[in-house]
Structure 1
Amino acid sequence: MGIKVVEKEEIKVVGISWNGSYSQTDKIPSLFQLLEERIEEVPLQTKEPVLIAPFHSRESEFTYYVTTPVEEVEEIPDGMVGFSIPRKHYVCTTHKGSPEEVENTYRRLLAWMEEYGYEQDHQALSLEIYKEEHKQQNAAGNLHFEIYLPVKTYKS
């Protein structure tokens, strides 16, 4: 599992939001399907072949978004949200494997951050980026996506 630190420029997105407890995460795959069904409603989409899933995690619940990148957040279709994700440094890796293994990928990423002195910025959105080229295998349950955890400081 390759891990690196990158800086991502501001990203503007429009899509679907969901809030729930960790025991309700089985609802997340349907968000991707819902956005796929409504994606033509989103104006000013970039031509990037990705879906971006920003999320906030909290102690007992989290908010998960499934979005498409846009040039500008202007017209937001009914029932959707639109916002900008500010330029930020992230520690990132790629998850490849079953949905049951996702938690282990996050644990390894967090352990790496601890080992190398990076502190997660819990005020910022974490990102999962799903590329169009992996859509079929993701739908089949063999997940392949990038994980970006925002970092606040480097502990020297």
Structure 2
Amino acid sequence: MKYEKPGIKQLAEMTIVGFRVQCKGSHYIHEIPKASAELDRRKNEIGHLVSPLEQFGAFVVDEETAEEEGYWVGFPVHTLEKIPEGMVSLTIPAQTYASLPIAGNNEQIVPAYEFLQQWMEKHDYPRLLNKWHLEKYTKWDSADYVEVDLLDTTENKH
């Protein structure tokens, strides 16, 4: 797969409302799309959506606590009010990310991360494994074709 050139992005603090997925590592590739589809079906229950066209995934690579284990999939909200039944909220602090947009089968995500991480190493952007990493989806209705911006947390060098 040919990739666009990675870049660096700053994102402001964000609160997402959605589902937390917890399973064995090899099952995430199947469980995350299920949670994403259920979230899409129930998005009208979430108040104060920033955009119904952007779903975010969030995870910590090197979890330090049980509260950080798993993968969150959610929609960003302007204001957090009532959380719909069965859903959770997560606030991600403002952070700097190495970014790589990709489009294709969700099985392309792992090799794309490898490409992004090689670029980060080459350009002296350290991966911050104990911070929240994001995946910004703009197309997610089929695991066979997703559009996602991989956002690997790093340091702001400026």
Question: If the length of structure 1 is used for normalisation, what is the TM-score?
Answer: 0.86
Partner of 2:151: 148
Q: Distance in 2 between matches of 1:68 and 1:153?
A: 25
Q: Distance in 2 between matches of 1:153 and 1:130?
A: 23
* 1:35-114 correspondence runs (5 A): 35-47=39-51, 49-58=53-62, 63-114=70-121
Contact 2:33 2:143 in 1 (8 A): no
1:12-56 Cα offsets, whole Å, 9 max, x none, are 211111112211121111001110121111111123621111112
TM-align CA RMSD: 2.0
* Matched position secondary structure for 1:118: coil
| Gap change, CA 1:72 and 1:150, over 3 Å in 2 | same
The number of aligned residues is: 149
Q: Which runs of 5+ in 2 are unaligned?
A: 64-68
Q: Which structure dedicates a bigger proportion of its chain to strand?
A: 1
| Gap change, CA 1:50 and 1:23, over 3 Å in 2 | same
Partner of 1:12: 15
* 1:18-37 correspondence runs (5 A): 18-25=21-28, 26-37=30-41
Task: Give 1:126 shift.
Answer: 0.8
* Matched position secondary structure for 2:135: strand
| Gap change, CA 1:31 and 1:140, over 3 Å in 2 | closer
1:68-107 Cα offsets, whole Å, 9 max, x none, are 1101122111211112211110000112222222211000
Q: Which runs of 5+ in 1 are unaligned?
A: none
Q: Amino acid of the residue matched to residue 39 of structure 2?
A: L
Work out the percentage of aligned pairs sharing the same amino acid: 24
* Matched position secondary structure for 1:43: coil
Question: If the length of structure 2 is used for normalisation, what is the TM-score?
Answer: 0.85
